[in-house]
């Protein structure tokens, strides 16, 4: 019962999009927009019942994953994060629910604002970057390369770098909403690629550096 009480805030946030869907259900046409192109134009329609499954994917699945992974983490490091992990779960749940509600609103109005979605996702990247330095080595969250998982010092250094890059990159992503379409999307994808690839390369180089130092000592 105590564990369930702790989950109530997370469950409540996850249920908000489903409640909103129930509220607008009768006002939705049978066919609703399901996809928009880079210019924000509708290019695919689907049955409104598909929106329910979209919510399960966008909100329900992340909730379940974040609920389960601390218990199946072989390193058992996520549990040692305590309130920091709960704060991470809370904010992620809030972001995903806000994104889902915006998607539902766009489907109801049959309009879209890709720039606003980019801003929401960019702020999420910035938030995650701010948390990177607190994430313990594990197989589920963070920059999980063979080199970070092999060496805890490489994990720490990689996440310090990645945290700074994701924070700054996320803010730049959020600012792309002022750019014209589809330049904003291309810029967003470019930033995503940079902040994703550089930490991976850095983890390899740092691992090789530490390995060479150990060999010299021996």
Residues 82 and 65 reside in one and the same domain: yes
The number of domains in the chain is: 2
pLDDT of res. 1: 67
Residues 155 and 209 reside in one and the same domain: yes
Weakest-pLDDT range from 31-35, 142-146, 213-217: 31-35
pLDDT digits (tens, 9 = 90+) for 59-103: 999 899 888 888 888 877 777 777 888 888 888 899 999 989 988
Residues 125 and 213 reside in one and the same domain: yes
Whether the per-residue pLDDT at 38 is higher than 70: the answer is no
The span from the CA of 128 to the CA of 147, in Å, is 21
pLDDT of res. 207: 95
pLDDT digits (tens, 9 = 90+) for 27-37: 888 887 766 66
Write out the DSSP string of 112-165. Answer: --HHHHHHHHHHHHHHHHHHGGGPPS-SSSS---HHHHH-HHHHHHHHHHHHHH
Cα four-point dihedral sign 39, 178, 190, 196 = negative
Residues 100 and 1 reside in one and the same domain: yes
pLDDT of res. 79: 76
Residues 90 and 162 reside in one and the same domain: no
Are 137 and 167 within 8 A, CB to CB?
A: no
Residues 85 and 134 reside in one and the same domain: no
Residues 108 and 135 reside in one and the same domain: no
Of 112, 147, 173, the position where a domain reaches its end is 112
Residues of the chain by 3-state class (helix, strand, coil), percent to 5: 75, 5, 15
Of 57, 80, 112, the position where a domain reaches its end is 112
- Structure-token pair, residue 144: 């999980």
Q: Give the domain extent around 136.
A: 115-218
Question: Average per-residue pLDDT in the chain?
Answer: 87
Residues 99 and 126 reside in one and the same domain: no
Q: How far is residue 157 from each of residues 32, 59, 143, 153, 203, measured CA to CA in Å?
A: 46, 31, 11, 6, 8
| Residues comprising the chain, all counted | 218
State the maximum Cα–Cα separation within the chain, in Å, rounded to a whole number.
Answer: 73
Are 18 and 55 within 8 A, CB to CB?
A: yes
Residue 26 DSSP class? G
Residues 200 and 119 reside in one and the same domain: yes
pLDDT digits (tens, 9 = 90+) for 124-137: 999 999 989 888 88
Residues 183 and 196 reside in one and the same domain: yes
- Structure-token pair, residue 148: 């970070």
At residue 144 the predicted structure's pLDDT band, cuts being 50, 70 and 90, is very high
pLDDT of res. 40: 59
pLDDT digits (tens, 9 = 90+) for 145-198: 999 999 999 999 999 999 999 999 999 999 988 888 788 889 999 999 999 999
Which of the residue ranges 19-23, 113-117, 135-139, 179-183 has the most confident prediction, judged by mean pLDDT? 19-23
pLDDT of res. 36: 64
Of 112, 132, 161, the position where a domain reaches its end is 112
Residues 30 and 93 reside in one and the same domain: yes
Closest CA to 170 of 134, 206, 211, 124: 124
- Structure-token pair, residue 181: 């379409």
pTM of the full structure:
0.81
Residues 128 and 44 reside in one and the same domain: no
């Amino acid at each position: 019962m105590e564990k369930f009480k702790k989950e109530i805030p997370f469950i409540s946030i996850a249920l908000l999009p489903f409640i909103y869907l129930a509220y607008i259900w009768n006002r939705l046409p049978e066919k609703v927009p399901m996809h928009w192109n880079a210019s924000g134009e509708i290019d695919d329609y689907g049955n409104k019942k598909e929106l329910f499954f979209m919510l399960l994917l966008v909100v329900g699945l992340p909730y379940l994953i974040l609920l389960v992974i601390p218990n199946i983490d072989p390193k058992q490091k996520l549990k040692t994060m305590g309130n920091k992990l709960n704060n991470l779960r809370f904010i992620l749940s809030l972001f995903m629910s806000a994104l889902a509600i915006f998607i539902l609103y766009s489907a109801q109005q049959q309009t879209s604002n890709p720039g606003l979605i980019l801003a929401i996702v960019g702020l999420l990247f910035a938030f995650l970057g701010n948390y990177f330095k607190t994430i313990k080595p594990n197989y589920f969250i963070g920059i999980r390369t063979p080199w970070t998982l092999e060496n805890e010092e490489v994990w720490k250094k990689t996440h310090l770098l990645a945290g700074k890059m994701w924070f700054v990159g996320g803010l730049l992503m959020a600012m792309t909403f002022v750019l014209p379409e589809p330049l904003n999307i291309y810029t967003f994808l470019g930033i995503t690629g940079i902040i994703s690839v550089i930490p991976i390369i850095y983890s390899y180089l740092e691992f090789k550096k530490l390995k060479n130092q150990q060999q010299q000592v021996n």
